[in-house]
Amino acid sequence: MASGSEVEKLHSRIRELEEELRRVRSTQDTHRSKIDKMSAEVVDSNPYSRLMALKRMGIVEDYEKIRSYTVAVVGVGGVGSVTAEMLTRCGIGKLLLFDYDKVELANMNRLFFQPHQAGLSKVEAAEHTLRNINPDVQFEVHNYNITTMDNFQHFMDRISKGGLKEGEPVDLVLSCVDNFEARMAINTACNELEQIWMESGVSENAVSGHIQLVKPGETACFACAPPLVVAANIDEKTLKRAGVCAASLPTTMGVVAGILVQNVLKYLLNFGTVSFYLGYNAMQDYFPTMSMKPNPSCSDRYCVQRQAEFKLKEAAQPKPEVVVEEEKPVVHEENNWGIELVSEVSEEELKEASGPVPVLPEGITVAYTIPVTKPTSGVTVEDSEQSLEELMAQMKNM
Amino acid sequence: MASGSEVEKLHSRIRELEEELRRVRSTQDTHRSKIDKMSAEVVDSNPYSRLMALKRMGIVEDYEKIRSYTVAVVGVGGVGSVTAEMLTRCGIGKLLLFDYDKVELANMNRLFFQPHQAGLSKVEAAEHTLRNINPDVQFEVHNYNITTMDNFQHFMDRISKGGLKEGEPVDLVLSCVDNFEARMAINTACNELEQIWMESGVSENAVSGHIQLVKPGETACFACAPPLVVAANIDEKTLKRAGVCAASLPTTMGVVAGILVQNVLKYLLNFGTVSFYLGYNAMQDYFPTMSMKPNPSCSDRYCVQRQAEFKLKEAAQPKPEVVVEEEKPVVHEENNWGIELVSEVSEEELKEASGPVPVLPEGITVAYTIPVTKPTSGVTVEDSEQSLEELMAQMKNM
């Protein structure tokens, strides 16, 4: 039996602890409440005031439209996590995140993740942080490797049905992965689904990177030609090889995430000039741009099919009488900065490679060349009868 | 009186609450312990492995040297906060942060701050987050406006004595402020202290920005000529005017912070080419570079003094027989990309401006012109006897 004062002490201690728990929790999880409609009101409490100001500044016509879009981010590492955070802070409608990695202290040299998240899955940790930052965004996270057969099917399913309105496709897929196999899986999926996507990459030595917009059938896909990288980089396939530890910098990854999401905003909200390829050479602060047509003999049969469809669509369209964007100077559709065309890859290597030899502006080279292992020339949609399984198996052997 | 089982229930509740409090606290503040010596060991638990890999990749000769440097960041907003985070994650020795603002929900469209920090001072909130990210970094924060007279004196004092070893100057000052007055205060301080600094800025319409390296006496200071901005921007002085709400984007600010800290790393760790001026035009993904000599008739007497000292130093130096960096191609010391020189400012405006007319590469213009209000030509160190007070008063009227 206890005295009344002893019991009172225990009750008082419970009240104390409850109060402290509330306080500690509140500093951790006090996120703002949801906001139904974006407002342009200029008050300190409005998280959208500086974004809605883009309308008043004459940059974006309809900023609120951002809430109607869904973006899938594949790879939530140094580039993908910052990409997801930028989109979240911009008020994107829905984000799908794909990654199978765990947060490690070794990731702390890049932005976004914090030491206390070490051990958590990247998608889980990211979702928690991002929800606190902006509860208006819808999140759907998948903690798996998209390159295994089952996961790849599920990934395709979510890309084609995981939009804001379930059953509708996402608006854009962003590749923020760090290996060739995952990039090729995204390429395969997007060619089949006719899904526009953007690719991003950072070199193993941490001082260059790039972004690339891929429109199936209209621009070169990842199987059309060897991926383009900035400057003389080391073979990307070594990235995840045992014993090799790639260097990375928060600066380079922050810049690449920034130019990637900027390109996303320009593409979705229809302002400025969307870049097809933008490189970043950090050693010399050089930012080459270019674009590349698809390869008619691409080994991806869906790419070849999309090319045929695109040609039909183009042919069917009446010649445009008024070019809508005629007042905007197009800076990088052609190489009009007087940049010399100097390829850093030998003639022999380029001859060995499948696909046409791309015209490479100074500072851009191919990551590696893909040896021609089968006859690819003359392949048409009709006579290319490879199954997805065969393509996947083929990719794994690359 | 209470029964034994009731008391046991209360004790059990207390244990429960204590356990929960420990758990919640641990997810909030579990930061890693300090690390005495940077290691290149490739293990998941090493937060420096990917940075030390820069040595193995042949990019940086002595990465550990970063721990010996102190950087002051003035302005901890959209650019400054990300700048501080990048430097913290890179393992900088010491950071000094200056800002007088509070975190608001209206800042949530930029990276770094989180909604639960609304109401806290920016430097206090930043220090808490950054300490958790990297406890190896030393922090010194000042929650004040550097442009008031007392604070300016204290600011000068900390720039000249706040290095890693108390009494020694900082290695670099970074201007991440959003108004003209604060930039001029930094300029005045750095000219007097012969302190190398870098400036950064983002336009009011959120779609352009720039960074600039200022070496007193060697390159143009902020009083030498009107500040350079990218493309046709609105007068920067309107930025903080009542009723005007500038637009901002996490993308543009992330890119500017990224190229700023990249320039800092290149400057401190001696790799790549340090940029004197790098612009970012987000609408067209155009990144102009340039450099500018100081104005012999600069209104800042310390700038004129530094110019004289620099000339003497240059004259005294023997002609370099071996250029150390001869193997590295210099990309932007001169305009060697064939960029046309097109000024967007009228001849009349430039004649009205004090200082020499800068040669402006395409895409760069002056933020505004400073009308000539007093005879500035022919001013030498000797006959310019303006006190700091007079300079400050003069600045306030600009």
Q: Tell me the nearest-neighbour CA distance from A127 into chain B, angstroms.
A: 14
Say which residue, B381 or B3, is predicted with more confidence: B3
Q: Which stretches within A30-107 are classed as H helix? A: 49-56, 80-90
CB B235 within 8 A of CB B368: yes
Contact criterion met (CB < 8 Å) for A116 and B46: no
On chain A, the residues whose CB falls within 8 A of the CB of B92 are none
Report the run of H or E that residue A390 belongs to, with start and end: helix A388-396
Taking residues B169-179, what's their average pLDDT? 97
Outline where chain A has alpha helix (H).
4-29, 49-56, 80-90, 122-133, 149-161, 180-193, 250-269, 301-316, 347-352, 388-396
Sort out which chain A residues have CB atoms less than 8 A from B47's CB and list them: 105-106, 108-109, 115
pLDDT tens across A275-328, in order?
A: 999 999 999 999 999 888 999 999 999 999 999 999 999 999 877 655 444 433
Q: Reply yes or no on whether the pLDDT at A373 is more than 70.
A: no
Q: What is the predicted pLDDT for the residue at B238?
A: 40
Interface with chain A: mutation pick from B5, B29, B111, highest number of A CBs within 10 Å = B111
Q: Across A268-272, B240-244, B336-340, B378-382, which has the greatest mean pLDDT?
A: A268-272
Active site residue: B90, B176, B224, B245, which one? B245
Structure tokens at A321: 């009488």
Q: Is A325 on the interface with B (CB under 8 A)?
A: no
Chain B: nearest CA to A307, how far in angstroms? 27
Nearest residue of A to residue B273, measured between CA atoms: A284
Mean pLDDT computed over A170-197: 96
Is the pLDDT higher at B357 or at B12?
B12
Nearest to B146 by CA among B113, B191, B189, B204: B189
Tell me the mean pLDDT in the region A348-376.
50
pLDDT at A385 over 60: no
Handedness of CA B185, B186, B189, B192 (dihedral sign): negative
Residues B84-97: tens digit of each pLDDT: 999 999 999 999 99
- For the cut 50, the answer to whether the pLDDT of residue A392 exceeds it is no
Model confidence at A153: pLDDT above 90: yes
- A343 pLDDT exceeds 80? no
Across A25-29, A316-320, A379-383, the highest mean pLDDT is recorded for: A316-320
Nearest to B106 among A47, A104, A338 (CB): A47
Contact B108 A258 (CB under 8 A): no
Using CA coordinates, name the residue in chain B closest to A257: B251
B58 vs A: CB within 8 A: yes
pLDDT on residue B312: 95
Q: Tell me if chain B has a CB within 8 Å of the CB of A380.
A: no
In the three-class reduction of DSSP (H, G, I as helix; E, B as strand; rest coil), residue A387 is classed as coil
What are the tens digits of pLDDT across the range B278-290? 999 999 999 999 8
**Which whole number is the average pLDDT over B307-313?**
95
The answer, yes or no, to whether residue B2 has pLDDT greater than 80, is: no
> Average pLDDT in the B99-124 region?
96
Tell me, what's the ipTM? 0.79
Which of A31-45, A370-384, B69-83 has the highest mean predicted lDDT (pLDDT)?
B69-83
pLDDT at A372: 45
Whether B307 shows a pLDDT value over 70: the answer reads yes
Nearest residue of chain B to residue A329 (CA atoms): B284
Answer yes or no: is pLDDT of B83 > 70. Answer: yes
State the average pLDDT over residues A221-248.
63
> Does B181 have pLDDT greater than 80?
yes
Asked if residue A377 has pLDDT above 50, the reply is no
The mean pLDDT of B334-356, rounded to a whole number, is: 37
Lookup result for tokens 């790879």: A75
Whether A245 is catalytic is yes
**Mean pLDDT, range A224-234, rounded to an integer:** 62
Which pLDDT score, from 0 to 100, does residue A226 have?
72
Within 8 A by CB and 6+ apart from A242, the residues are none
Q: Testing the interface with A: which of B20, B50, B261 to mutate, by most A Cβ within 10 A?
A: B50
Interval A238-253 mean pLDDT: 74
Nearest beta carbon to residue B133 from set A42, A115, A328: A115
Phi-psi domain of B75 (left: phi exceeds 0; alpha: psi -120 through 50; beta: other)? left
> How close does chain B come to A343, measured CA to CA in Å?
17
Mean pLDDT lowest for which of A165-174, B171-180, B363-372?
B363-372
Interface contact B284-A329, CB threshold 8 A: yes
Percent of chain B with pLDDT over 70: 73
Supply B212's token pair: 């600039």
Closest by CA to A290, choosing from A351, A368, A212, is A212
Average pLDDT, chain B: 82
Q: Hey, which residues 246-265 in chain A have their CB within 8 Å of chain B? A: 246-252, 254-255, 257-259, 261-263, 265
* Total CB pairs under 8 A between chain A and B: 323
Which residue, B171, B178, B198, is CA-closest to B187?
B198
Angle at B124 between CA B104 and CA B131, to 5 degrees: 120
Chain B hits for A109, Cβ within 8 Å? 47-48, 50-51, 89-91
Beta-carbon separation of B10 and A6 below 8 A: no
Question: Exposed, middle or buried: residue A315 (CB in 10 Å: 0-12, 13-18, 19+)?
Answer: exposed
- B367-373: average pLDDT: 48
Q: Which residues of B touch A247 (CB under 8 A)?
A: 50-51, 53-54, 56-57, 59
Cα-based angle B235, B236, B238 (whole degrees, multiple of 5) = 80
pLDDT score of B251 more than 90: yes
Mean of pLDDT values over A215-220 = 96
* CA atoms of A246 and A256, how far apart (whole Å): 17
Which residues of chain A from 79 to 118 reach within 8 Å of chain B, CB to CB?
A: 82, 85-86, 89-91, 104-106, 108-111, 114-116, 118
B343 compared with B228, residue with greater pLDDT:
B228
pLDDT in tens, A78-108: 999 999 999 999 999 999 999 999 999 999 9
Q: What is the pLDDT of residue B272?
A: 95
Q: Does residue B10 sit at the A interface (CB-CB below 8 Å)?
A: yes
Q: List the single range of A149-158, A320-329, B174-183, B329-338 with lowest mean pLDDT.
A: B329-338
Q: Are A99 and A139 in contact (CB under 8 A)?
A: no
A21, A207, A332 ranked by CB distance to B59: nearest: A207
> Model confidence at B49, in pLDDT bands (50, 70, 90)?
very high
pLDDT at B72: 98
Predicted pLDDT at B317: 85
Angle between helices A80-90 and B250-269 (to 10 degrees): 140
B208: helix, coil or strand? strand
Interface touch B114/A133, C-beta < 8 Å: yes
Q: For residue B43, what is the nearest residue in chain A, using CA coordinates?
A: A106
Take residue A273 and report the two structure tokens written for it.
Answer: 């000039």
Of B4, B50, B272, the CB nearest to A284: B272
Instruction: Give the Cβ contact number of residue A278 at 10 Å.
Output: 25
pLDDT of residue B280: 96
Q: Which two tokens stand for residue B162?
A: 């706040």
Q: What is the mean pLDDT of chain A?
A: 82
Q: Tell me the pLDDT tens digit for each residue of A127-147.
A: 999 999 999 999 999 999 999
- Asked if A134 lies within 8 A of B273 by C-beta distance, the reply is no
- Give the minimum alpha-carbon distance from B389 to chain A in angstroms, rounded to a whole number: 34
